[in-house]
Chain A
Amino acid sequence: MDLQQILNLPEVQLILPVLQTVISILLMIFPLIICVAYLTYAERKVIGYMQLRVGPNRVGPFGLLQPFADALKLMFKEIALPKKSNKVVFLIAPLMVFVPAFLAWAVIPVNGNGALANINLGVLYLLAVSSLGVYGILMAGWASNSKYAFLAAVRSGAQMVSYEVSMGLTILSVILMAGSMNLSEIVLAQKDMWYAIPAFPMFVIFIISILAETNRAPFDLPEAEAELVAGYNVEYSSMPFALFFLGEYANMILMSAMAVLLFLGGWLPPVDVAWLNWIPGFVWFVVKVCAILFIFLWARAALPRFRYDQLMRLGWKVFLPFSLIWLVLTAFVLKFMS
């Protein structure tokens, strides 16, 4: 049988689409993992330079192989299971943090060709999937059977749930303006003006909310090392420990991509002129995501940590009412002025 015949077999015909999907998923995930690795490198470099240091510079040229050295080191460590921990949940927890962060990329359109799955309810899917990360953290804290891990998990869970609310409301106002829940359509609706301009307050709230949602500085209370040793991952070592961090950094990239798609015009250039349109959309997308990621790193280097009650006050008493009012305002403006 030659290749053509093999391809025409009914069995092959059935499996081929599945294979195609699997390959396109892998093509999405592997670059992402590399990005996550280099985000840790970028973080150390950026914060290094902000603190008048050089950051990692020993492994490879400019320290470029540092992420791989770190990964190898973590892989060769022993996986320590605490004796009184709940073993099954303890080992599932890191996966529950890691997987949703990558799951969400199925609907993210990186250029005009659309995403892996260009579904109509892309925004809703993103919200649904990103709300799963909290389980990993709660399970980790509970299964570790340790006070510090547990307290950190409860804190972190409460924080993520609270900021999800204000994040959801800011996204709702964008959906109202775009009139669609399809991410590609939301981006195309921003052809004339990025939503960051008319909805600037929402953009600011969204950026602050994603800082809190990913448990990053200045809202990195779950990792408050002075009070909670290290946070919900105290008892973890080796790869399970690394998975938490991979998940956290993948979430940072995901949230930045969300901010870019919803407020900064996705893959579209800033103004619709010819010579800017020659640059491929993918490049615009990556540049914008990097800009938002830089804000993440900048905030970590520049701002002191929030106190827990301040964090909750900001989320529930400032952001929530403000974004609700803005939502009503947006609806009014859209109904009566356009």
Chain B
Amino acid sequence: MSVKEKTEFQPKIVAFCCNWCSYAGADLAGTNRTNYPANVKIIRVPCSCRVNPIFILRAFQRGADGVIICGCHPGDCHYITGNYYTRRRMTLLFSMLDFLGIEKDRTRVEWVSASEGGRFAEVMTEFTNDVKAIGPNRKLEDLRCKAK
């Protein structure tokens, strides 16, 4: 890696992945050795509908620059209807975050199945680039956390 790239802004990205599809998809990306940016760090949740909006607010508060939620494709949820709840909740939350000044490009919901390792890497690369393009997020960040 060149010096220039090192000083480039490296966003912190939190990815919530459902245990059944997206986490397995991320594992498959690994098995296939498909590269994606190291900025993405995955938190395993049983289902995308387990992601409480509070987690996302917390991430932004603690200095995350982007949050992505991945679940099974609509209709394929392991828990039958979980991803439909995710879709509704997050549409609402993201529009409110947008209103607060957290750009829409910082938040995303994506459907990645267990067989879509390539797609997982693609999505993560694309999302990281989008977040890089808009720069660091300072809107919700709690500076008291930083001082610590």
A pairs with B? no
Binding site for B on A (CB under 8 A): none
